[in-house]
Amino acid sequence: MDAASYALGDLRGLLPPRLRDSHKGDFGHVLVIGGNHGMAGAARLAAEAAARLGAGLVSVATRDSHAHALGTGRPELMVHAAETDAALERLLDHATVIVLGPGLGCDAWARRVFDASLRSPVPQVVDADALNLLALTPFRVASSTMLTPHPGEAARLLGTDAATVQADRGGAARLLRERFGGTWILKGAGALVACEGGLHRCVHGHPAMASGGMGDVLSGILGALLAQGMGLCEAARLGVALHAAAGERAAVRDGGRGLLALDLLPYARSLLEETCPC
């Protein structure tokens, strides 16, 4: 079966408006886990995207050496050093959604927080190095897990190469879901969502989005939508479309080359408001 193409306009009203007496506790608590040595920016990108797209609360679990700078740079975030199992467990206990992987690395600390995080029962977005750790010891994930590989990460998970994945993107997305469970987003031009509702292809996107950090921003957007109560398939489709359409709009209005990941957030926010008014 071919993928069903969709545009952002097809998803109007998918996220319902907020009640007038809403408070931050109604819109979830996203915990971003990552930002290993030298990679604090990835965790910042994901966390800021989660906050900007409507999560009620956003925390970051990271290395001690990065905690102060991340908290100072974006004071709305709650940033914690998670060097011990006990420190991480306290953070996991308060999260309603986990975004695992931005800047995570693959060292002993990364492996430890990866194992602890995937034992949590809350919905999770698994990205970046968390996918590479999953490829090292493959197992089926919980049904409440969303995984977001680019073609290279998908190839490692499937034991093949990126060219093979790209030659049959739909087949690769279906095989990932069949082999590992969960909901899958295969990133790249014409991003694919493989979920319980079938295979969906987003028509948005722009070559200006070929720059570092775009995937981290996507993972934060997805975490925010899950935190606001959306189901996995709906959040995946809406999050992918918001991200890709924001890239289009930013490139058209501001120019293509030199587009940075955080440049997408003002456009993603306005597009969400146009599509699903608050």
Helix (H) or strand (E) holding 177: helix 169-180
Supply the pTM of this predicted model: 0.98
Query: How far, in Å, CA of 192 to CA of 194, rounded?
Result: 6
Write the DSSP symbol of residue 60. Answer: E
Are the C-beta atoms of 57 and 82 separated by less than 8 Å? Answer: no
Are the C-beta atoms of 30 and 50 separated by less than 8 Å? Answer: yes
User: What pLDDT sits at residue 260?
Assistant: 97
Mean pLDDT by 10 residues, the chain (278 residues): 92 97 97 97 98 98 95 94 96 98 98 96 98 96 98 98 98 98 97 96 98 98 98 98 98 95 98 97
User: What pLDDT sits at residue 1?
Assistant: 59
User: What pLDDT sits at residue 2?
Assistant: 87
Best CA proximity match to 93, nearest among 62, 120, 125? 120
Are the C-beta atoms of 61 and 113 separated by less than 8 Å? Answer: yes
User: What pLDDT sits at residue 174?
Assistant: 98
Best CA proximity match to 43, nearest among 30, 26, 29? 30
Tell me how long the chain is.
278
Backbone CA torsion sign across 207, 211, 216, 217: negative
**Tell me, what amino acid is at 250?**
A
Instruction: Give the CA distances from residue 2 to residues 146, 173, 198, 199, in Å, rounded to whole numbers and listed in that order.
Output: 21, 12, 9, 7
